[in-house]
Amino acid sequence: MFEPERDVRGGAPSSDAQSDTRPSCYHAPALILISGIAQAPWVVEDCALAAENLMLAAYGEGLGTCWIGFAQGYLNTPEGKNALGLPATWVPVAPIIVGHPTTMPAPVARKEPEIRWVG
């Protein structure tokens, strides 16, 4: 069984958080790493769009998600890629943790859109 907190960090969570620079996954039950071949054109954009769709679909199913941006640096190292079995020629773009939220956040107040037509 894959355990993001254990597997991404390469072992049990450290009791001394300041001495451990590997990313934490906040005890989420699942980590989805959206990645692609580093030399592919638009790899970052394509992966970001896939991540957005994943996060919206998860929300629609009552799941919570969080894009763990600070994990990208670690996951792009040989140690990080090895921890998840990511090929060396691939680039991690969107590490997303998924789980059941304990509470749902309140809706965010929206501003009225400002639309300007050019042409």
**Block mean pLDDT (10 aa), the chain, length 119:** 42 43 70 92 95 96 91 91 92 94 85 92
Count of structural domains within the chain: 1
Q: Is 97 helix (H, G, I), strand (E, B) or coil?
A: strand
Q: In this structure, is residue 41 part of a structural domain?
A: yes
Helix, strand, coil proportions of the chain in percent (round to 5)?
35, 20, 50
Q: Which pTM value belongs to this model?
A: 0.70
Non-local CB neighbours of 21 within 8 Å, separated by 6+ positions: 74
Q: In what order do the strands lie in the sheet with 30-37?
A: 30-37, 90-99, 64-67
Domain annotation covers residue 2: no
Answer whether residue 104 is part of any domain: no
Say what the pLDDT of residue 53 is: 97
Q: Do 39 and 99 contact (CB within 8 A), yes or no?
A: no
Q: Which pLDDT score, from 0 to 100, does residue 2 have? A: 38
